[in-house]
Structure 1
C-alpha cells in the first residue's frame, strides 16, 4: 500500500467521523470539560492563590507549586493562558486555536504529574491530553495545511451538516472506556510506591505488607524530612525486601 492510498483511506475515514453525531457530541463534551478545568485552575492563579493550597510545601508537587506561586507575574501569566485557552475552546470559530494553545500547557502538566507522581492529576492529566488531541484530530481538515504533507485534498474545512449520521461508533467508545480504565489501573498499580498527598495516606499503602517498615521510612523521607522524591525512592529500593 502506497502512502498516497493510505492517506486517502485515512482521510475518507476522517470524513465519515465528521458526519457522525456521536463523534460531534463527544468532541463538544471534550471542549466543555477541558474548558471548565482550565477556567477553574487559571482563575486560582489570576486571583493570586496557590494551586492545591492544602498540599504540604515539602511534598514533591507542593514544593514546586509553592515556588511557582512566588514567581510573580509569571504565575499570573500561566493563569491567563489557561483561561484564554479555555475560552477559545468554547467558540466554534476559535476552537482550533484554543486546542493549539491548550496542548503544550496540558502536556507540561501531564509530564510534571508523572515526574513527581502527583495523584491529584495522575489520572486526569493524561486523559486531558488525549481529549485535546481528539479535538485537534477533529479539526484535521484545517490543521493539515500546516503539517508537512506533500499532498493536500481540496477541502479547506467541512461545512456544518444539516443531518448527521446517528450510528453509534461502538468500537470507538469501547476504546475510550478502555483507555480510561487503563489510565486508572496504571495510576494504581504502575508504581510500587506513590508519595500520595499526606503522610497518613502514604503510610496506608504499605500497611500489612512485606515492606511496611521500608514503606513507612519512604513516607517519612517525603513528608517529614522533605527529601527529593528520587532520593526517597532509592532509599526504599535499597531497604525493601528483595523477592
Structure 2
C-alpha cells in the first residue's frame, strides 16, 4: 500500500488515533506521581536504580517539572489536534527514559520502553508532512495536507485525560467507599466514551461508503 493510500485509509487513521490514546495515557501514572511530589519507586538506594531515582526525587522542582512535561505530552497526544507536538515532546522525554532503562539494566522494563519508542516513532512518521519544512530550510516545498481527525476524537481524548487523572487522584483500594464508587463511575464513563465515539465513526464510515 502506497503512503498516500495508507495516510488516507480510515482504518489506518483509526489505529493512529487510538495509538495516540494508548501512548498518551502511558505517561499519566508516572507523570502524575512526579508532579504530586511523590517517590516513583521504593527500591533501596544501595541499588543503582534506587539511587538514581532518589537523586532525581531529591532534586525538588526538577522532579515536578519532569512530571509536568510527561502529563503535558500525554494530554497533547490525547487531544488529537495537537498530537504532533505531543509526539515530539513524548519522543524527547521517552528517548531519555529508554536510554536510562538500557543503561541501568532494568529487568524487563527496557522491553516496554522499546515498544513505546517504536509506537512514538510511528506517530512522528505519520505526521512527517508537517515536519518536512523544518528540514528544507529556505527551499520551496509543497506540503501535502491531510484532514485532521474528526472533533469527536478530540472530545473523547479530553474525556479520557480527565478520567485518567481523576482515577489517579482516587484510591479505590485503600480509600473511602465513595472513592470506590467514583472509580467505577469513571471507568464506566471511559467505556461509554470508547463505545460511543467508535460507533459514531463506524456509522459515518458506512454512510460514506454507501451514501
State the TM-score bracket (shorter-chain normalisation). Answer: 0.5 to 0.7
Which aligned pairs between 1:30-179 and structure 2 lie closer than 5 A?
A: 30-53=19-42, 55-119=43-107, 121-148=109-136, 152-155=141-144, 157-160=145-148
Q: CA 1:148–1:126 in structure 2 vs 1: closer, same or farther (change >3 Å)?
A: farther
Aligned residues: 149
Q: Distance in 1 between matches of 2:91 and 2:143?
A: 27
Give the secondary structure class of the aligned counterpart of 2:146: coil
Give deviations 1:44-97, integer Å, cap 9, x for gaps: 0011111123x2222221110011110000000000000000000011220001
Give the secondary structure class of the aligned counterpart of 1:123: helix
Give the secondary structure class of the aligned counterpart of 2:27: helix
Please say if 1:29 is aligned against 2:18.
yes
Q: List, as ranges, runs of 4+ consecutive aligned residues in structure 1 with deviation greater than 4 Å.
A: none
Unaligned runs of 5+ in 1: 1-11, 163-243
Unaligned runs of 5+ in 2: 151-211
Please report how far the alpha carbon of residue 148 of structure 1 lies from its aligned counterpart in structure 2 after TM superposition. 3.6
Contact 1:99 1:136 in 2 (8 A): yes
TM-score scaled by length of structure 2? 0.65
Instruction: Quote the residue 1:170 is aligned against.
Output: none
Q: Distance in 2 between matches of 1:19 and 1:38?
A: 28
Contact 1:19 1:161 in 2 (8 A): no
Please report how far the alpha carbon of residue 160 of structure 1 lies from its aligned counterpart in structure 2 after TM superposition. 4.8
Give the secondary structure class of the aligned counterpart of 2:40: coil
Q: Distance in 1 between matches of 2:117 and 2:140?
A: 28
Contact 2:24 2:77 in 1 (8 A): yes
Q: CA 1:61–1:100 in structure 2 vs 1: closer, same or farther (change >3 Å)?
A: same
Q: CA 1:65–1:127 in structure 2 vs 1: closer, same or farther (change >3 Å)?
A: same
Q: 2:5 aligns with which of 16, 28, 31?
A: 16
Q: CA 1:49–1:135 in structure 2 vs 1: closer, same or farther (change >3 Å)?
A: same
Q: CA 1:111–1:93 in structure 2 vs 1: closer, same or farther (change >3 Å)?
A: same
Please report how far the alpha carbon of residue 152 of structure 1 lies from its aligned counterpart in structure 2 after TM superposition. 2.7
The structure having more radius of gyration, on CA atoms, is: 1
Please report how far the alpha carbon of residue 154 of structure 1 lies from its aligned counterpart in structure 2 after TM superposition. 4.4
Please report how far the alpha carbon of residue 124 of structure 1 lies from its aligned counterpart in structure 2 after TM superposition. 0.9
Q: CA 1:23–1:76 in structure 2 vs 1: closer, same or farther (change >3 Å)?
A: same
Contact 1:85 1:101 in 2 (8 A): yes
Q: CA 1:13–1:113 in structure 2 vs 1: closer, same or farther (change >3 Å)?
A: same
Instruction: Quote the residue 1:215 is aligned against.
Output: none
